[in-house]
C-alpha cells in the first residue's frame, strides 16, 4: 500500500490540495490519522478521488456522488443503475433545452443577417420584447 502526502495525492488525482481538503470537509474522503503531524494517504484515497472526478465528469453533483460512494459495487447494482438512469434523463432534458436555445439563436442570427439595416436589430428586439408566456404550457 502506497503512502502519499496530500500534495502527492492531489497531483496524482489531478486536483488541487484545497479540493482534497474540501472533499474531506464534505466527508467524501476520509481524513487520515496524522502520525508525526503529516497526513498520509493510501491508494484507496486516490481511487476514491478518481471516482469522484469521473462521476463529476458525467454530471453528478457532490451530493449525488456521496450517495454513489455509499453503494456497494456488488449488492447495489440496481440502485446504481436507477441513479444513473435518472442522471441520464436529466442530461437528455438539458440537451433538448440547449438544442431549442441553439435553434432560437440560429433563427435570430439568420433574421438579423437578412433584415434591412434600417429596421431594429431582430436579436436585440427579441430580447427586449419576448413573446408572451402561455401559462398553460407548463
> Can you give the CATH number for the domain in which 48 is found?
1.10.1660.10
62 inside domain: yes
Shared domain for 103 and 52, answered yes or no, is no
Residue with cell 467524501: 28
58 inside domain: yes
The residue segments making up the domain with residue 61 are 6-70
Shared domain for 14 and 38, answered yes or no, is yes
Shared domain for 22 and 65, answered yes or no, is yes
75 inside domain: no
pTM above 0.85, yes or no: no
Residue with cell 440502485: 79
Q: What number of other Cβ atoms are within 10 A of residue 102's Cβ?
A: 10
CA-angle at 40, arms to 37 and 46, nearest 5°: 150
pLDDT tens-digit series, residues 52-94 = 999 999 999 999 999 999 999 999 999 999 999 999 999 999 9
Shared domain for 13 and 66, answered yes or no, is yes
Shared domain for 47 and 90, answered yes or no, is no
Question: Which pLDDT score, from 0 to 100, does residue 137 have?
Answer: 61
Number of domains in the chain: 2
pLDDT tens-digit series, residues 93-123 = 999 999 999 999 999 999 999 988 888 898 9
Confidence of residue 133 (pLDDT cuts 50, 70, 90): confident
The dihedral formed by the CA atoms of 84, 86, 89 and 91, expressed in degrees to the nearest 10: -60
76 inside domain: no
Shared domain for 64 and 87, answered yes or no, is no
The CA-based diameter of the chain, rounded to the nearest angstrom, is: 76
137 inside domain: no
Amino acid at each position: 500500500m502506497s503512502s502519499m502526502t496530500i500534495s502527492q495525492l492531489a497531483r496524482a488525482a489531478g486536483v488541487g490540495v484545497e479540493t482534497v481538503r474540501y472533499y474531506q470537509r464534505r466527508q467524501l474522503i476520509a481524513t487520515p490519522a496524522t502520525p508525526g503531524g503529516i497526513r498520509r494517504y493510501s491508494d484507496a484515497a486516490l481511487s476514491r478521488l478518481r471516482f469522484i472526478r469521473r462521476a463529476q465528469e458525467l454530471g453528478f453533483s457532490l451530493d449525488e456522488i456521496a450517495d454513489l460512494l455509499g453503494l456497494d459495487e456488488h449488492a447495489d447494482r440496481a440502485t446504481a443503475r436507477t441513479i444513473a438512469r435518472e442522471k441520464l434523463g436529466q442530461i437528455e432534458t438539458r440537451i433538448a433545452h440547449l438544442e431549442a436555445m441553439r435553434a432560437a439563436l440560429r433563427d435570430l442570427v439568420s433574421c438579423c443577417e437578412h433584415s434591412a439595416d434600417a429596421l431594429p436589430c431582430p436579436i436585440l428586439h427579441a430580447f427586449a420584447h419576448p413573446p408572451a408566456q402561455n401559462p398553460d404550457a407548463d
